[in-house]
Amino acid sequence: MTTTAQFPEARQTMPGAGAILRQFWATSKGMTIFLIVSCFFLVLALAGVIVDPREVLGQPVWMKSLKFAISFVFYAPTVLWMFSYVKIRPRLMRFVLDACAAALSIEIVLFIIQAVRGQAMHFNISTPFDTALWNIMSISIMLFYIINIIGFVVFLRQKPVADRAFMLSLKLGMGLMLIGFGLGFLMTNPSADQLKTLEAGGTLAAMGAHTVGAVDGGPGIALMGWSSEHGDLRIAHFIGIHGAQVLALVGWLLYTAKQRFSDKQRLTLIWGAAVAYLGLVASVTVQALRGQALFQPDAITLGSWLGLAVVSILFASVVMKQGSGAGVQGSEIGL
């Protein structure tokens, strides 16, 4: 039986920053250092956006660094917190986190080099040096993804050391995050225009693209930079990656409401939330592949969003009406 002492999220007082850093350090020294480095990277990128007037593909030259710095600052504490619940294979888990930190640290260095040079980072093969940097990043991303899969497999084998439903939300959230990472590989495929150029014997300045139906660098959505006129694969990539935080939030909210819902209800609702979120990721992925801008959905896309919302609401309503409070135990739905 899980007690409040075993489940930090249930405590009435939040731990201080020092206590959090000590817990992070005990979980993974490498990832904790990476978190600190990411904070400095964030400050550097923000300063660059403010003071450096140069642009790359229609955006400030430091904007991509800024967006990735923000993502890193969210990613590092998320995985440090999640993996603090993993008690099996401690050496392997430390290796997973430390290796992921090393791979992402390489990316930070590459982003800074290209921002200083005023060059695009992703897909850039315009010169031998740019090609070498892109190849290094491609290898680091692939290794990062493989290592995350290893961590996910071990995470799945971990029996709940906290509330069972909450642990399920962490596992499913990490699965969604891996799907989001994987969607990034769709961008590395050459676009239709790039393939035509290659077939005609021409040379390319970039191999791969974010945008579907146009070249990168066109009009974009404010701040995010996603194409406002064509499909953009970064949207599904972004939504999928942050499934970890969204599912963890759902799990925590349901934990705070455990007096109202049985264990079986909470486990079922978490599964429903994961499936609904996966449906959203799939929908925006298909939308992008069809060359359609996020805020210009056609009837098919709108129908998929509406159907997903209606089914999700009905599912949650039915589940919440079943059972009779937290006294029901022993669901067989969880991992």
Taking a C-beta distance cutoff of 8 angstroms, is the pair 225, 59 a contact? Answer: yes
pLDDT at 335: 59
- For residue 54, the number of C-alpha atoms closer than 13 Å in the C-beta half-sphere is 13
Residue 155 contacts by C-beta under 8 Å, 6 or more apart in sequence?
82, 83, 86, 170, 171, 174
Mean predicted confidence (pLDDT) in 100-122: 96
Domain ranges of the chain: 1-162, 163-335
pLDDT at 330: 43
Taking a C-beta distance cutoff of 8 angstroms, is the pair 97, 30 a contact? Answer: yes
Question: Which contiguous run of DSSP H or E holds residue 231?
Answer: strand 231-232
Nearest to 49 by CA among 60, 37, 64, 38: 60
Any bridge partners for residue 66, and if so which? none
Tokens in use for 225?
């930079």
Mean predicted confidence (pLDDT) in 69-94: 92
- Tell me which of 29-38, 133-142, 163-172, 200-209 is least confident: 200-209
CA atoms of 93 and 124, how far apart (whole Å)? 34
CA distances (Å), 138 to each of 49, 134, 152, 158, 253, in order? 25, 6, 21, 31, 37
pLDDT digits (tens, 9 = 90+) for 195-238: 988 888 888 888 999 999 988 888 888 878 899 999 999 999 99
Assign 3-class secondary structure to 15-79.
Answer: CCHHHHHHHHHHHCHHHHHHHHHHHHHHHHHHHHHHHCCCEECCEECCHHHHHHHHHHHHHHHHH
The reported pTM is 0.87
Nearest to 155 by CA among 88, 75, 81, 95: 88
pLDDT digits (tens, 9 = 90+) for 255-268: 998 889 999 999 99
Residue 48 contacts by C-beta under 8 Å, 6 or more apart in sequence?
60, 61, 62, 65, 66, 115
Q: How confident is the model at residue 193 (pLDDT cuts 50, 70, 90)?
A: confident
DSSP 4: G
